[in-house]
Amino acid sequence: MLQQLFRSPMALLCMGIIFITALLGIFAPWVAPNDPYANDILNKFAGPSWQYPLGTDQLGRCVFSRMLFGIRPTLFLSLLTMLGTIGIGVVMGITAGYFRGTVDEIIMRVVDVMLSFPSQIIILAVVALLGVDIRNVVLASIFIKWAWYARMIRTATIKYTSMNFVLFSRSIGSGNFFILTRHMLPCIAAELAVLASLDTGWAILNISTLSFLGLGVQAPTPEWGAMLNEAKNVMVSNPEQMIVPGLAVVVLVGACNMLGDCLRDALDPKAVRQ
């Protein structure tokens, strides 16, 4: 399964991009050439140089250093969001899909209610209610997104519940917990991996969007969406300011989405050996 994944060049490329980005984010204080908060107002909008590899912004801060420090909120908060949504979604989805009946009805009606709100609007509403803070953005994202997961996972679970191997397992008296963890989870793992990597992409975009709107990470903390927002103000005079954070978001989200595709191929057991 993993061998198959490592054999695909696209998967390697995507995992490489995400892995290196994560490493750069973790070791940002040692990698960054400058302090991301240090102003050098005389050198504002400077071009690339040895001192500032990617130039400086409107306050003369090193763009490269800010990019590196910006990985932390962007990537790690989106991973946190993804784990949260997957955790709740899997538990709810499997419970609803496997036990059916009343439990299913209750969970799915809650899910219906959640899904009937447009996700961006409810995130804005939650942020407005709880205050402008990145923690509230993460909470709101988990709150709105788990329902979507629960529905997808419920469908996958129902598909496998009527399979003969689950029936056999029940007929010989294996416990529900055993069936759910040993049969169900591995079976829906393929769907789960795809959903997870796609969702990480979504979460990155979402956190960047809200920071861009000024509702997520607050200035002066470096964050890619917030950097784009600052660059937007000088869009006409210094358009190159938008390129670096914009490109970084596109590449990282693209890598997450492509990795989702590759994972789906690799987790299909029939495709393991052609």
Partner 1 sequence: MSTLLEAHNIRVSFKKENQTRLFGKERQQVLRGISLHLEEGECLGIIGESGSGKSTLGRVLSGLLRPEEGTITLDGQDLYGHHTRAEARALRHMLSVVFQDYTSSTNPRFRVSSIIGESLRALEHATGERIDRKRRVAELLEQVGLPESFAIRYPHELSGGQLQRVCIARALAIRPRIILLDEAISSLDASTQVQVMDLLAALRRELSLSYLFITHDLTSITYLCDRVVFMNQGEIVEQVDDITKIASITSPYARQLLEAVMGIGCEHGSGQEQASDEAWVA
Least spacing, CB of residue 166 vs partner 1, in Å? 8
Both structure tokens of 13: 């490329």
Least spacing, CB of residue 116 vs partner 1, in Å? 22
Is the Cβ of residue 219 or residue 271 nearer to partner 1 in the bound state? 271
- Site mask for partner 1 (CB under 8 A), range 23-62, x = bound: ----------------------------------------
- Site mask for partner 1 (CB under 8 A), range 214-233, x = bound: --------------------
Per-residue DSSP letters for 81-146?
HHHHHHHHHHHHHHHHHHH-HHHHHHHHHHHHHHHTS-HHHHHHHHHHHH-S-HHHHHHHHHHHHH
Is the Cβ of residue 27 or residue 165 nearer to partner 1 in the bound state? 165
Least spacing, CB of residue 40 vs partner 1, in Å? 57
Q: How far apart are CA 182 and CA 179, in angstroms?
A: 5
Q: How far apart are CA 5 and CA 214, in angstroms?
A: 39
Is the Cβ of residue 135 or residue 170 nearer to partner 1 in the bound state? 170
Part in contact with partner 1 (CB under 8 A); list of ranges 14-22, 106-114, 126-134, 265-273: 265-273
Is the Cβ of residue 45 or residue 160 nearer to partner 1 in the bound state? 160
Is the Cβ of residue 116 or residue 164 nearer to partner 1 in the bound state? 164
Least spacing, CB of residue 197 vs partner 1, in Å? 20
Least spacing, CB of residue 103 vs partner 1, in Å? 18
Upper half-sphere CA count for residue 124 (Cβ side, 13 Å): 9
Phi, psi of 56, deg, nearest 5: -125, 165
Say how far residue 217 (Cα) sits from the centre of its chain: 16
Pair 194, 259: CB distance under 8 Å? no
Q: How far apart are CA 34 and CA 118, in angstroms?
A: 41
Give, as ranges, the residues between 156 and 195 that touch partner 1 (CB under 8 A): 163-165, 167-175, 178, 182-183, 186-187
Is the Cβ of residue 121 or residue 271 nearer to partner 1 in the bound state? 271
Q: How far apart are CA 188 and CA 76, in angstroms?
A: 25
Least spacing, CB of residue 187 vs partner 1, in Å? 7
Phi, psi of 62, deg, nearest 5: -70, 115
What single-letter amino acid sits at 38? A
Least spacing, CB of residue 96 vs partner 1, in Å? 19
Size of the site for partner 1 (CB under 8 A): 21
Is the Cβ of residue 121 or residue 272 nearer to partner 1 in the bound state? 272
Least spacing, CB of residue 274 vs partner 1, in Å? 12
Both structure tokens of 208: 């960047």
Pair 229, 58: CB distance under 8 Å? no
By CB under 8 A, name the binding residues for partner 1.
Answer: 163-165, 167-175, 178, 182-183, 186-187, 269-270, 272-273
